[in-house]
């Protein structure tokens, strides 16, 4: 139980760090969206002032690409916001579970210390759960199922975090290849 508790705490801290990192990446993506909005507005202004047909066609192409990239980034930002909120909720739930386990383990240790003639925590728990007490057994089974669900969710969250990290790396690389390399996201020309 202590090993599981330690593993849950370690996962909890890792998820906290990943959530913080995703928040930073989310801010960066929002800046990229703002930059693309400015590029879109520039393209519209340039189109209205342009008189040559080829320039107009090039600007339309640039406008379409910028608009599509903007929509894709907005979708990714929305997905990251939803994922971050979900991870924050899971993190809060897992923190509460860990606190409960810590409190239970402290109580179990103090109960076990009071019964020196018994052979540890296992015998204390066997004494507490009588053979005919099916309600406690059902509750124990439900708690075990809940713990397994939480661990499964944790594994899925970890996989989602890996996918999001890969997506962030890809988006960061796309940011590096922006149309005007002298401009940083969020700057005006």
Q: What is the mean pLDDT of the chain?
A: 78
Instruction: Please answer whether residues 171 and 74 qualify as being in contact, where contact means their C-beta atoms are separated by less than 8 angstroms.
Output: no
Q: Is residue 181 part of a domain?
A: no
The arithmetic mean of pLDDT across residues 63-89, rounded, is: 90
Where residue 134 falls among pLDDT bands split at 50, 70, 90? Answer: low
Distances (CA, A) of 40 to 13, 73, 77, 164: 40, 14, 18, 27
Predicted local distance difference test score (pLDDT) of residue 118: 46
- Separation between Cα atoms, residue 25 and residue 170, nearest integer Å: 12
Residue 131 is encoded by which pair of tokens?
Answer: 């053979």
The arithmetic mean of pLDDT across residues 138-166, rounded, is: 85
Instruction: Please answer whether residues 70 and 40 qualify as being in contact, where contact means their C-beta atoms are separated by less than 8 angstroms.
Output: yes
Residues composing the chain: 189
Q: Is residue 184 part of a domain?
A: no
Predicted local distance difference test score (pLDDT) of residue 74: 92
Q: Is residue 95 part of a domain?
A: yes
pLDDT digits (tens, 9 = 90+) for 157-175: 989 999 999 999 999 898 8
Q: Is residue 26 part of a domain?
A: yes
Q: Is 33 exposed, middle or buried (0-12, 13-18, 19+ CB in 10 A)?
A: buried
Residue 14 domain boundaries: 2-176
First to last CA, the chain: 59
Instruction: Please answer whether residues 55 and 116 qualify as being in contact, where contact means their C-beta atoms are separated by less than 8 angstroms.
Output: no
- Separation between Cα atoms, residue 167 and residue 159, nearest integer Å: 12
pLDDT digits (tens, 9 = 90+) for 15-47: 888 888 888 898 998 999 999 999 988 887 776
3-state secondary structure of 182: coil
Q: Is 43 exposed, middle or buried (0-12, 13-18, 19+ CB in 10 A)?
A: buried
Q: What is the DSSP letter of 101?
A: H
The arithmetic mean of pLDDT across residues 48-65, rounded, is: 78
- Separation between Cα atoms, residue 87 and residue 154, nearest integer Å: 9
Q: Is residue 105 part of a domain?
A: yes
Q: Give Cβ neighbours of residue 16 (< 8 Å, ≥ 6 apart).
A: 91
Q: Is residue 122 part of a domain?
A: yes
Predicted local distance difference test score (pLDDT) of residue 186: 52
Where residue 68 falls among pLDDT bands split at 50, 70, 90? Answer: very high
CA nearest neighbour of 72 among 174, 181, 176, 182: 174
Our count of domains for the chain comes to 1
Q: Is residue 38 part of a domain?
A: yes
pLDDT at 72 over 90: yes
Name residue, tokens 């053979």.
131
Predicted local distance difference test score (pLDDT) of residue 189: 44
pLDDT digits (tens, 9 = 90+) for 85-96: 888 888 888 877
Q: Is residue 188 part of a domain?
A: no
């Amino acid at each position: 139980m202590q090993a599981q508790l330690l593993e849950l705490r370690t996962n909890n801290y890792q998820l906290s760090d990943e959530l913080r990192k995703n928040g930073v990446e989310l801010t960066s993506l929002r800046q990229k969206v703002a930059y693309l909005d400015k590029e879109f507005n520039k393209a519209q202004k340039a189109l209205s002032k342009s008189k040559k047909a080829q320039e107009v066609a090039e600007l339309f192409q640039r406008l379409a690409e910028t608009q599509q990239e903007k929509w894709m980034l907005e979708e990714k930002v929305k997905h990251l916001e939803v994922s971050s909120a979900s991870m924050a909720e899971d993190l809060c739930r897992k923190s509460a579970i860990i606190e409960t386990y810590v409190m239970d383990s402290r109580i179990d240790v103090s109960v076990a210390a009071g019964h020196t003639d018994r052979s540890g925590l296992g015998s204390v728990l066997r004494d507490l759960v009588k053979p005919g007490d099916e309600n406690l057994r059902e509750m124990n089974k439900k708690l075990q199922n809940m713990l397994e669900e939480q661990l499964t969710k944790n594994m899925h969250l970890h996989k989602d975090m890996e996918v999001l990290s890969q997506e962030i790396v890809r988006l960061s690389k796309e940011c590096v290849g922006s149309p005007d390399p002298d401009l940083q996201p969020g700057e005006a020309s």
